[in-house]
Amino acid sequence: MGNRQIPIYSLMVATEPLPSDVITQIRNNQRATFQEACHLITYAQITGDNRLAIGGRGVRYKLFSRLSERSEIDNRMHSALERRAKSWFPQISQAKFEYRWGGAVALTRRWQAYLNFDRASGRAEIGGYVGDGVTLSYLVAKTLATQISNLKTQALPFIDQKIGRWEPEPIRYLAVNTGFKATVIADYEEKITNRPSVLASIIDPLINR
């Protein structure tokens, strides 16, 4: 899978437990996961013990898909997430952030999930859940279990999905990191123009082609 998936780091921070009146002001008593409508993905949720946990991407991709423990504790990115959380909810401006963590997720070329099962050899491959989380990973795994059990399977789009290959290095390194920077610029463009980003309309087809 070396040329079909690359490691992209997703980082998170979490506040101290928030008072119940602050949770009420945030208006998310259902603890639904939500995200900001921006190009550089950020997402958040109120945890079971009333913390605000917020995550996002933006850590530089490493040449040749190298893994890096330092990328999991990127202070610049963690601090940016804390500032963003406070910009969303002024009610937590005095709250302490008690946790910082992160890790690599596997990204396919067109953000596609896949399930490939060869009954003759017994070999199976599943993956590509970036952006869809545990819900899609559960569905793909459950579908694979159904196939292994030789039961009837619904015709779902990730079954027998042929995922594309990433460009060779160093083109991949330059393209991925340029794409990250471009999404930041696109968000800033929309903030100052109050219109859909022209830059995003150019880069989105390249990312998803």
| Ordered DSSP codes for 36-65 | -SSSS-EEEEE-TTS-EEEEE--PPPPGGG
Residue 144 structural domain: 114-148
Both 63 and 140 in a single domain? no
Does residue 11 sit within a domain?
Answer: yes
Both 71 and 120 in a single domain? no
Both 134 and 63 in a single domain? no
Both 38 and 95 in a single domain? yes
CA distance to 15, 149, 180, per residue, from 36 (Å):
18, 40, 16
Give me the tens of pLDDT residue by residue for the chain, a chain 209 residues long.
668 999 999 999 999 999 999 999 999 888 898 988 888 889 999 999 999 999 998 899 999 999 999 999 999 999 999 999 999 999 999 999 999 999 999 999 988 999 999 999 999 999 998 878 788 999 999 999 999 999 999 999 999 998 889 999 999 999 999 999 999 999 999 999 999 999 999 988 877 65
Does residue 170 sit within a domain?
Answer: no
Q: Give 135's DSSP letter.
A: H
Q: Give 171's DSSP letter.
A: H
Does residue 67 sit within a domain?
Answer: yes
